[in-house]
Every structure is written in structure tokens, then in C-alpha cells.
Amino acid sequence: MTARSHQSDGGVGFVGAGALAGALSALAFTAIHQLLINPIWFALPAMLGAGALCGVCLAWSYTLAVPRPGIGSWLRYNALYLLMFVALGVTSLVAFQPVTTIAALLKTNEPPVQLIERALPVTGLFTLGSAALVSALYRPGWRGAGGILLATVVLVLLLGLNISILGLVSVPRGDSGVLAEVLVLLGVLAGVYAALVVALRRSRFRTPDSADSSGS
């Protein structure tokens, strides 16, 4: 069986596993959010949908970028996007000056739409640059580059907009643990997702030693 047929046979199942793992990781995110910050169970249906969509896009773009899936390459691919979110937060902190406080945001109890709009030009450029960088690392061709771009846009839109406004929010030293909590939440989301996909589709991952031993 060739690498192409391996990819086509396992691709649908792999993307399906990505959807399920994405939804379950969103559930884990919601539970950890309650422990670290506050309950957000009211948003669980929307978060499950967003998690499934992100999981689909990430798994699908991986199948396009990596012709011979392996556990190591899968974990590295996920780590790359986790680093992207960290870099987005750092970019926001460098690019913007605070215009509000955490206390003011929590008091409104509404999505920070105005801050997101203010950060949008930087967020857009960062998203395009991140997709270009991942494509340059994997060189997956035009179709793969399109998949990577789609995955990056979806991930930033659904998971990264609150990170993109970090530089616009003043964080007192006493509340600096909030940034650590954001990092922990991101790590939990990425770690649970990547591990669940491995557990669900372990038989489809291949190491270099086991790749196409049949030679057909």
C-alpha cells in the first residue's frame, strides 16, 4: 500500500478523531476554567462546537502537511500551534499599550468586542505570518498551504482573539497569575487534544521503521 493510499484510507477517520478529541478537550478546558477562574458551563454547547471545528481543521491540515503520520510529528505539529498562541500573546503585549483593566473587563461580563476590533489589524497580520511560517516549515504544496491557512485562521478566530488583546489590558502585579492561568489553559487544551487523537487513532500513526514495509 502506498503512502497516498494510506493517507486517503485513514484521512477521514483521522479527521473524525480530531473532531471528537477537539470537543472533549473543550470539555476539559471548561472544567479547568472553573477551577482556575470561574464557571463557564453556560457556554459549553458553543465551546464543544468550536472545539470540534478546531479539531477537524488541525487534523485535516496535518494530513495535508505530513504524508507519513507519526506520533512524534503529530505532537510537534500541535506544539507548533501552541507556540503560535504564546507568540500571539507576546506580540500583543509588545504592540499595544493598556487601555483598560482586568477588573473593568470582568465587571462588564461581556465579550471585549471593541478591544478585539482594535487589535484586529495586528491579529490579521500575525495570522497570515504564522500560516506562512508553518507552510514554509512543511512545504506541503498549494493545497496543503491552503489547509494550513484555514486551520490557522479558524484557531485564531475561535481560540486566539482573547489572547490578541492581552496588551490592551493592564495587569497589576497582584493579578499577574492570570497570564500563567491563560498559559495553563492553553496547555491543557492542546495536550488533551493531541493525546486523545493519538489514543483514538494510534493504529494509523506510523514510525519511520514501520512505514510501508510491504513496498507496494
Reported as a single tens digit per residue, the pLDDT across 75-91 is 999 999 999 999 999 99
pLDDT of residue 216: 36
pTM, to two decimals: 0.86
Domain count, the chain: 1
Assess if residue 212 is contained within a domain.
no
214 lies in a domain? no
In a domain, 118, yes or no: yes
Cell numbers for 157, please give them: 478566530
DSSP 3-state assignment of 208? coil
pLDDT, greater one: 8 or 118: 118
Is 197 within 8 Å of 82 (Cβ atoms)?
no
Beta strands in the chain, from DSSP E residues, in sequence order: 100-101, 169-170
**How confident is the model over 29-64, as pLDDT tens digits?**
888 878 777 778 888 899 999 999 999 999 999 999
Q: Does a structural domain hold residue 11? A: yes
Residue 101 confidence class, pLDDT cut points 50, 70, 90: confident
Domain range for 94 is 3-204
- Is residue 112 included in any domain, yes or no? yes
Q: Which of 179, 46, 187 is nearest to 111 (CA)?
A: 46
pLDDT in tens, 126-160: 999 999 999 999 999 999 999 999 999 999 999 99
Report how far residue 74's alpha carbon sits from residue 53's, in angstroms, rounded to the nearest whole number.
Answer: 18
CA angle at 149 for the pair 161 and 7, rounded to the nearest 5°: 125
Residue 53, domain member (yes or no): yes
**Inside any domain, residue 46:** yes
Q: Distance of CA 126 to CAs 74, 158, 216, Å?
A: 23, 15, 43
Mean of all residue pLDDT scores within the chain: 86
CB 122 within 8 A of CB 91: yes
Whether residue 211 is contained in a domain is answered as no
Residue-wise pLDDT for 192-208, tens only, equals 999 999 999 887 775 44
- Determine how many CB atoms are found less than 10 A away from the CB of residue 198: 17
End-to-end CA distance of the chain: give it in Å, rounded: 5
Q: What is the pLDDT of residue 37?
A: 73
